[in-house]
Amino acid sequence: MASEAHGGGDTMLTVVLKALNLVLFFGLLFLLIARPIRQFFESRDEAITDEIQGAKDKIARSENLLTDLEERIKSYEMEEKVIQERFEQEIHRLEQEARETLKKDLETQKKMVDHAIEQQLRVAREDLRSETLALSSKMAEKILTEQIEDKDRKAFAERMLEEISS
């Protein structure tokens, strides 16, 4: 049993040595790869930090661009309103101008028509006077002719009767 106890102690020594060997291995491993791992993580941290800063810069530029574009849009909308108002004012002015021109043209045409009607009435009156005078003359001539004929007929009839009776 003593040998077992000795063997068991040997095993304990082996375990301690193995544990010490493992600790030394990890210590040596840590010394060998700790710096490269730290450098890797530091460079990775810097790269991530740079990427984050780059993304923040892009976001800031994008926000500035967005703000600028929104201001431009507002400016264009205001300019559009001004142009629309000017356009409506110009349309109103042109409509007024057209109405005034049309009104003047209509007045001028009305005067011309009135003048033409007046002239036509004068000509018609003159024609009517001429025709009336001609008709009056013809009627007077006819009346006179008829009256003379009746008188002449009566006189002729009376002469004939006198001649027959004598």
Nearest to 84 by CA among 95, 73, 76: 76
Question: Per-residue pLDDT for 144 more than 50?
Answer: yes
Confidence of residue 150 (pLDDT cuts 50, 70, 90): low
Q: What is the largest CA-CA distance in the chain?
A: 224
Give the count of domains, the chain. Answer: 1
**So what's the pLDDT on residue 166?**
67
Of the two residues 159 and 42, the one the predictor is more confident about is 42
> Which range has the worst mean pLDDT, 30-44, 89-103, 106-120, 151-165?
151-165
**So what's the pLDDT on residue 130?**
84
- Asked whether residue 101 is assigned to any structural domain, the reply reads yes
Of the two residues 151 and 117, the one the predictor is more confident about is 117
- Mean pLDDT across the stretch 16-39? 90
Q: Give the chain's count of helices (H) and strands (E).
A: 1, 0
- Asked whether residue 1 is assigned to any structural domain, the reply reads no
Q: Which domain holds residue 105?
A: 43-132
- Asked whether residue 76 is assigned to any structural domain, the reply reads yes
